[in-house]
Amino acid sequence: MTHPSTDLTDGIRVRGLTKTYAGGDPHRPALESIDLDIGRRRFVSLIGPSGCGKSTLLRVIAGLEDHDAGEVSLFGSTPRALCSAKAIGLVPQAPALLPWRNVRRNITLPRSVNRRAGTGGEDPDDLLRAVGLGDVAHRYPHQLSGGQQQRVAIARAFGMRPELLLMDEPFSALDEFTREALRLQLLVLWQRRATTVVFVTHSVREAVTLSDEVVVMSARPGRVHEVLPIDLPRPRDASVVTGPRMHALEDRVRASLQSAWEAGAAPDDLVPL
């Protein structure tokens, strides 16, 4: 699979992004001068210690939060404009399903709001089959397992054929076995639909398994520490995921995280800012 190299008008472009939370220390912004380029149809993970601002960065890209300085350009457009065109799919940490709607109607929720931006999208039944939930289409969220709920949330986000898919630690509440299965399922879905994905995670393994690039962030203030390319072949089947190259890359990301942590976790008076 060949990816177009990072053309600046045709991808996500973040320049000098700085954000301080209201009431936060102005000398310690949540995000400080973030520069980031993500090519169209790339799968990019944000990883870093807690407090490094990876979720904040995701929310800024989603247009859910304002920023103080810098610019965010999504395919030459603004986050807000992309939202009003229903071109951003969000998968939050909690599945965020509406408990009074059954699985199928949860998946079709995006078409029933903001109808001006269109009511099209993928056929919900095809989508349900693709995530292996065809037989629970008429169940309600409380009748599903945590893994099934998160699959519904992923299907809902894919259903609108978004240009950009933002995922905020979607698997963090699941057990390791379910996570592993869902990662592979996500990859299958993504490869068929080829959308740009920004994926926030705590898990090194998850980041390396899924991504084309891993963005390692450091905390206090939140900065991009390093961007590591993951040049594993796709599709990433079992032989790739268990191979020696995979382990080498995991170690590489871990080492980067370690130095990011040391950069961000040192006591105040020792950090020359």
Q: Does 6 bind other proteins (CB under 8 A)?
A: no
Listed in sequence order, the residues at least 6 apart from 211 whose beta carbon sits closer than 8 Å to its beta carbon are: 43, 44, 45, 199, 230
How many residues bind other proteins, per CB under 8 A? 30
Q: Which of 17, 46, 57, 88 binds other proteins (CB under 8 A)?
A: 88
Min CB(99)–other proteins separation in Å: 4
Burial class (CB in 10 A: 0-12, 13-18, 19+), 198: buried
- What is the chain's alpha carbon radius of gyration, rounded to the nearest angstrom? 19
| Least distance (Å) between residue 163 CB and other proteins | 12
Stretch that binds other proteins, among 14-22, 38-46, 88-96, 235-243 (CB under 8 A): 88-96
CA distance 101 to 88: 22
Helix (H, G, I), strand (E, B) or coil at 218: strand
Q: How many CB atoms are closer than 10 A to CB 6?
A: 15
CB of 73 to other proteins, least distance (A): 17
H-only helix segments in 108-213: 109-112, 124-130, 146-159, 176-193, 204-210
Q: Does 83 bind other proteins (CB under 8 A)?
A: yes
CA 197, 38, 47, 200 dihedral sign is negative
Q: Which residues contact 119 (CB under 8 A, 6 or more apart)?
A: 111, 112
Contact positions with other proteins (CB under 8 A) in 161-180: 166
Residues 43-82: x/- map of binding to other proteins (CB under 8 A)?
----------------x--xxx------------------
Question: Is 136 a binder of other proteins (CB under 8 A)?
Answer: no
Stretch that binds other proteins, among 35-43, 110-118, 124-132, 255-263 (CB under 8 A): 110-118
Q: Which of 117, 137, 232, 263 binds other proteins (CB under 8 A)?
A: 117
147 is a site residue for other proteins (CB under 8 A): no
- 166/215 with CB nearer other proteins: 166
93 sits near other proteins (criterion: CB under 8 A): yes
Distance CA(205)–CA(111), nearest Å, equals: 34
Is 19 among the residues that bind other proteins (CB under 8 A)?
A: no
Q: Is residue 198 within the footprint of other proteins (CB under 8 A)?
A: no
Q: Which of 49, 92, 124, 159 binds other proteins (CB under 8 A)?
A: 92
Gap between the Cα atoms of 233 and 261, Å rounded: 29
Nearer to other proteins, 147 or 170 (CB): 170
Residue pair 74/242 in contact (Cβ under 8 Å)? The answer is no
Q: Where are the alpha helices (DSSP H) in 85-175?
A: 103-107, 109-112, 124-130, 146-159
Which positions lie near other proteins, rule CB under 8 A?
59, 62-64, 83-86, 88-90, 92-96, 98-100, 109-110, 112-114, 117, 140-142, 156, 166
